[in-house]
Amino acid sequence: MEKKNAELENRSGSLTEIALRKLRKNKLAMVSVVFIGVLTLVAILGYAITPDSTPNANDQHLELAACKPGFSTSFLRIKQNQTIEQHNFFYRMLFGQESGVTTIPIYSYKIIGDSVRVELFTGDKTEPLTATYGLVNALFAIDPLEQPQKKNAIYTYKSVDGSIHTVSIAELKKEAAENLIETRYYLLGTDRFGRDLLSRLILGTRISLSVGFVAVSISLIIGLFLGATAGYYGKTIDHAISWLTNVFWSVPTLLVAIAITLLLGKGFWQVFVAIGLTMWVEVARVVRGQVMGLREKEFVEAAKVIGLSNRRIIFRHILPNAINPVIIISAANFSAAILIEAGLSFLGIGVQPPAPTWGGMVKDHYGYIILDSAYMALLPGLAIMITVLAFNIIGNGLRDALDTKESK
């Protein structure tokens, strides 16, 4: 009796509610949904959670190239002699923020009077290299045409905005204790250019998910329109659209993406458009078949009888009933778009440096696989693999959840 009640409960409610219940019972699909949700949150937060918040996480220090995970060192911060525009939190979260300082990796430092002497980081302590910097020049953005003047332990300097300031040596030392030195920790180490690997992995998430979202959106717009038009009107229009679909279908997707990329040029948005223009074919074919089956149904005939326009019949009555396979295809296309973008970036014709992409990171470091730093190529490769797998699992889960046939 309890088993029958459970079956009745599972079959009750709208089709959407039934599908959601079936999807929630698929533990692997739900884990994938949570994983993609976390990735989406990471992509949205972006620079707000990256250790390196400069644009494209491109703060390079060649002295720190290929440092191991968990590495840390101190940096001397020297104020740049230029005005840096400060942006609000949301702008910084989306686009990053120029730091306004030049950072120099060091082993140690010592403040002597109005100067700081540092031992520069060289990777080899057996050959020490030292340098000395004035505290006033290091701590403040000074007009490059004006040099600080000293009188009775008081410095007078002109800032880049034209204002005049005075500061004592005691104030210099206090300011130096707070802002002159910083320590950075590289949880995943650095890449071959000395950039923070974790920051670039996080920002690579944003590009991969953005490519998938934009490409799927473009493919849905084109595929739904062409597929619905061909399936509903048939005859000459169907033949013409089917011919166009078969032409695109006969050419490998990656080859078409490469051709469109070379035609539009290399760049961020060009890759989005190129991938989107290669993925509409499958959507159009499925929608065409669904519409051809639905246009003969009674509710479509009734809509025609009462005088509804063809456009309203297609978009308000037919397409909502053909959306289930489109949702499943979109999940598969999302993962395919991530793979295509990674492939294009690996070939050097995708999103261009210094923008961080997972495919570009694999390209930059695949030579380290045979060395003791294989993780630099394996980590972005693993990110691609897990993300694609998660979308495929979600697609399979949606297919099972949206299946209206009851299992025996």
Tokens of 30: 């739900």
Q: Compute the distance between CA of residue 74 and CA of residue 66 in angstroms, rounded to an integer.
A: 17
Q: Where are the domains of the chain?
A: 11-40+198-401, 71-186
Residue whose C-alpha is closest to residue 34's, from 397, 408, 401: 397
Per the CB < 8 A criterion, the answer to whether 303 and 313 are in contact is: yes
Measure Cα distances from 97 to 93, 129, 141, 280 in Å: 8, 31, 17, 37
264: CB partners within 8 A, 6+ apart:
270, 273, 274
Residue whose C-alpha is closest to residue 296's, from 311, 313, 312: 313
Measure Cα distances from 269 to 63, 222, 274, 349 in Å: 33, 18, 9, 12
Residue whose C-alpha is closest to residue 105's, from 130, 76, 81: 76
Q: Compute the distance between CA of residue 235 and CA of residue 186 in angstroms, rounded to an integer.
A: 63
Q: Is residue 85 exposed (0-12), middle (13-18) or buried (19+ Cβ within 10 Å)?
A: exposed
Per the CB < 8 A criterion, the answer to whether 219 and 274 are in contact is: no
Q: Compute the distance between CA of residue 321 and CA of residue 369 in angstroms, rounded to an integer.
A: 50
Q: Compute the distance between CA of residue 345 and CA of residue 380 in angstroms, rounded to an integer.
A: 12
Tokens of 56: 């494209």
Q: Amino acid letter at 286?
A: V
Cis preceding linkage at 128, omega within 30? no
Measure Cα distances from 106 to 18, 123, 379 in Å: 62, 10, 28
Q: Compute the distance between CA of residue 368 and CA of residue 148 in angstroms, rounded to an integer.
A: 48
Edge to edge, the sheet with strand 181-186 lists 130-134, 115-120, 101-112, 71-79, 181-186
State the Rg of the chain over Cα.
29
* Cβ count within 10 A of residue 46: 20
CATH code for residues 11-40+198-401? 1.10.3720.10
The one-character DSSP state at 314 is I
Q: Amino acid letter at 238?
A: D
Residue whose C-alpha is closest to residue 163's, from 141, 180, 183: 141
pLDDT mean by block of 10 residues, the chain; 408 residues: 50 71 89 95 94 93 92 93 88 91 93 91 82 91 86 87 88 90 94 94 94 90 92 90 88 80 79 84 90 87 86 87 87 90 87 90 91 90 95 90 61
